[in-house]
Chain A
Amino acid sequence: MRRVYFISINLLLTTFVFSQPTLSGYVRDSSTGENLIGATIIDSSSGKGTVTNTYGYYSLTLAQDSAILQVSYVGYVRQTLRIALTGSQTLNISLQPDSGLKEVVVTSEETLDMLPSMSTVKLTVEQINNLPATMGETDIMKAIQLMPGISAGAEGSANVHVRGGGPDQNLTLLDGVPLYNPSHLYGFFSVFNPEAINNIEVIKGGFPARYGGRLSSVIDVTMKEGSNQSFGGSVTVGPLASKLSLEGPIWKDRTSFIVSGRRSYIGLIYNPFERFGDDFDIARDYAFYDFNAKVNHIFSDKSRLYISMYQGLDDFSSSDTQVYSPFYRSTDASTMRWGNGVAVIRWNYVLHPKVFTNLSVSTNDFHFRTKQAFTTQETTNDVTTTRIDQMVYRNRITDYTVKWDADYYPNAIHTIKAGASAIFHKYAPGLYRITQEAADLSNGGGAEQTDAMEYAFFVEDDMQLHRLLRLNVGVHQSIFTVQGRTYTSTQPRISGRYTLTKGLSLKASFATMQQYNHLLTNTGVGLPTDLWVPTTRDVKPQTSEQWALGLVRATANWEISLEGYTKQMDGLIEYEEGARVTATYEPWYDKVTDGDGYSRGLEVLIQRKTGKLTGWLAYTLSKTQRQFDEINGGEPFYSRYDRRHDLSLTGTYQFANKWSAGAVWIVSSGNRATVIKGGTRGELLGFPYDRLSGIIYSNRNAFVLPTYHRLDLSVQWASIGEKLGHEVVLGVYNAYARENAFYLDYQRFSPADRIVYFPRSLLPIIPYMNYTVRF
Chain B
Amino acid sequence: MYFVKLVSRIWMVGYAGILIFSSCQIDPIIFKARDFEPKLELKCIFYQGDTIRFTLTRSVFSPFGLDEELIYIDGANADLFEDGEYVGSFYQVPCNGCENYTYDGYYKIDHIPQAGRSYRIEVSVAGYPSIQAETELPISGVNVINLLVNRRYFDVQSTEFYDLGVQLFDELHNNYYLMNVDYEGIILSSIDNDTIRRWVYDQRFKVSPNYLMNNLEPHNGSSYRSIVFSDSYFSNSIFNIELKELERLNIDLDQGCNAENVYCKRLFKIHVGNITKELYDYLYTSALQDINYKDPFSEPVNIISNIENGYGIFAGYNRSVYPIFIDIP
Contacts and interface: CB of A to CB of B under 8 A. Distances in A.
A443 B211 contact: yes
Interface string A380-402: 00000001000100000000000
Contact of A691 (B211, B286, B311): B286
A677 interface: yes
A683 B41 CA distance: 10
Contacts of A689: 180, 222, 225-226, 283
Interface stretch (B50-58, B119-127, B164-172, B187-195): B50-58
Interface string B38-64: 100111110100100111110111111
Chain A contact surface mostly:
loop
Contacts of A738: 23-24
A210 to B, nearest CB: 37
B26 A706 contact: yes
A754 B29 contact: no
B36 interface: yes
Given A679-B59, A691-B223, A686 B292 contact: no
Interface in A394-445: 434, 436, 438-439, 441, 443, 445
20 contacts: A578-B298, A579-B298, A583-B209, A679-B62, A680-B63, A682-B56, A689-B283, A690-B43, A695-B63, A695-B300, A696-B311, A739-B26, A740-B26, A750-B62, A750-B65, A752-B65, A753-B34, A755-B31, A757-B30, A759-B26
B288 A694 contact: no
B64 A575 contact: no
B41 A695 contact: no
Interface extent on A, as a size class?
A: 35 or more
A577 B61 contact: no
A331 to B, nearest CB: 15
B60 A681 contact: yes
Contacts of B311: 680, 682, 694, 696
Contact of A685 (B53, B67, B291): B53
Nearest to A681: B70
B312 interface: yes
A253 B288 CA distance: 65
A273 interface: no
Interface in B180-212: 180, 209-212
Contacts of B30: 754-757
Nearest 3 interchain pairs by C-beta: A679-B63, A578-B301, A578-B288
Interface string B262-302: 00000000000000000000011111111111011111111
B96 interface: no
B155 interface: yes
Given A438-B156, A691-B287, A739-B24, A757 B29 contact: yes
Contacts of A434: 210-211
A153 B329 CA distance: 60
A529 B297 contact: yes
B268 to A, nearest CB: 16
A230 B68 CA distance: 77
Contact of A586 (B70, B211, B217): B217
Given A439-B153, A695-B63, A752-B65, A682 B225 contact: no
Contact of A693 (B64, B215, B217, B296): B64
B44 to A, nearest CB: 8
Contacts of A590: 217
Interface residues of B, number: 80
Nearest to B54: A685
A683 B64 contact: no
B32 interface: yes
B241 interface: no
B253 interface: no
Interface string A570-593: 000001111111110110001000
Interface string B18-34: 00110111101111111
A522 interface: yes
Interface of B: 20-21, 23-26, 28-34, 36, 38, 41-45, 47, 50, 53-57, 59-70, 105-106, 153, 155-156, 161, 180, 209-213, 215, 217, 222-223, 225-226, 283-293, 295-303, 311-313
Given A576-B299, A577-B300, A695 B293 contact: yes
Contacts, number: 217
A282 to B, nearest CB: 22
Contact of A752 (B55, B68, B283): B68
Given A578-B301, A586-B209, A739 B25 contact: yes
Nearest to A677: B31
B65 A751 contact: yes
A754 B24 contact: no
Contacts of A756: 28-30
Nearest to A376: B156
B286 A523 contact: no
Contacts of A684: 43-45, 55, 313
B306 to A, nearest CB: 13
A694 B312 CA distance: 9
A694 B226 CA distance: 17
Of the listed residues B31, B56, B161, B291, the one surrounded by the most CB atoms of chain A closer than 10 A to its CB is B31
A578 B299 contact: yes
A744 interface: yes
Given A684-B43, A685-B43, A738-B23, A697 B300 contact: yes
Nearest to A709: B23
A680 B45 CA distance: 17
B64 A441 contact: no
Contacts of B283: 689-690
B22 to A, nearest CB: 10
Contacts of A391: 210
Contacts of B61: 678-679, 752-755
A581 B297 contact: yes
A645 to B, nearest CB: 16
A524 to B, nearest CB: 11
Contact of B289 (A691, A706, A741): A691
A407 to B, nearest CB: 46
Nearest to B67: A752
Given A683-B43, A752-B62, A761 B26 contact: yes
A748 interface: yes
A748 B64 contact: yes
Nearest to A706: B26
Nearest to A576: B299
Contacts of A445: 215
B91 to A, nearest CB: 15
Contacts of A739: 24-26
A686 B24 contact: no
Contact of B60 (A439, A577, A678, A754): A678
A526 B298 CA distance: 15
A575 B312 CA distance: 25
A378 interface: yes
Contact of B53 (A677, A686, A755): A686
B289 A694 contact: yes
A271 interface: no
Contact of A578 (B38, B69, B292): B292
Nearest to B33: A753
